[in-house]
Amino acid sequence: MINRIRDIRKQKGMTLAQVAARCDPPTTAQTIGRLETGMRNLSLVWMNRIAAALGVDPELLVKGEEAEETKIIARLAETGAEALSAPRDAILPIELGGETPLVCLLVEAPQGEYRAGDQIWMRQHPPEEAPKLINRDVLVPRSGGRFAFGRLIDRRGTLVGLLPPGLGQRQIVIDNPAWIAGAEMLVRPL
C-alpha cells in the first residue's frame, strides 16, 4: 500500500507542524514526516489520527500499488505552464473534507452563471449550520419532494431565504428545511 498523506496535506495547504498539532493527542512534525515517507509504519491508529487531523476519511490516505491515479503533473503560473518537481496524486476537493453526504445538482437549462451540462457538487449540512453558508449557492429540500436552489441570503429562526440565480426572480423562503446543501465544486464540460 502507498500512503497519500503528503499529497493530501499539500493539497490542503497544511504544514507538517499543523497536521501534528491537529492530531489527538498532538504529536511532532517529525513523526508525521516519517509516516508520510514510510520511514515509520502507518498503523490503523495513526491512519485514524492523521485522517481526523486532515479532515478526510482514513481510506483516502492509502491506495493500492496497482491502482493508477490521476496525477497533477504541471501548474499554471504567471509565466505559463510549469512542470512540478515530482508528480503527485490529484485528489478531488470534495474528497478532502466533510463527514456529511454529497449530492449533485445537474443544470439542464442556463441559470445565472451556470450553463447547461454543469454539475454542481454540494455537501449537505444541518440547518443550524446555515450561517456559515450565507452568500453561497445552496440546494434546500421543500415539501412534496421539491427543491429550491439559489444564493443563501438570510436565516431567521427556522426560516431560510434564497435568491434564485435567474434575473428578475423573487426571493424564496423555506421554513424549517431538513438540510441545506452548500456548493463545493463546479464540474463544467468544455
According to CATH, what is the number of the domain 102-187?
2.10.109.10
Question: In this predicted structure, what is the pLDDT of residue 96?
Answer: 62
Confidence of residue 79 (pLDDT cuts 50, 70, 90): confident
Check if 2-90 and 102-187 are the same fold.
no
The CATH fold of domain 2-90: 434 Repressor (Amino-terminal Domain) (1.10.260)
Taking residues 132-137, report their average pLDDT.
Answer: 92
Taking residues 99-112, report their average pLDDT.
Answer: 86
- CB burial class (10 A; 0-12, 13-18, 19+) of residue 120? buried
Which residues are within 8 A (CB) of 154 and not within 5 positions of it... i.e. 6 or more apart?
Answer: 134, 160, 161
DSSP letter, residue 17:
H
Structure confidence by residue, pLDDT tens digits, 7-27:
888 888 899 999 999 999 999
Give me 43's grid cell: 498503523
Does 25 sit behind a cis peptide bond, omega within 30 degrees of 0 on the bond before it? yes
Question: In this predicted structure, what is the pLDDT of residue 19?
Answer: 94
Domain residues of the chain, as ranges?
Answer: 2-90, 102-187
pTM of the predicted model over 0.75: no
Taking residues 140-167, report their average pLDDT.
Answer: 88
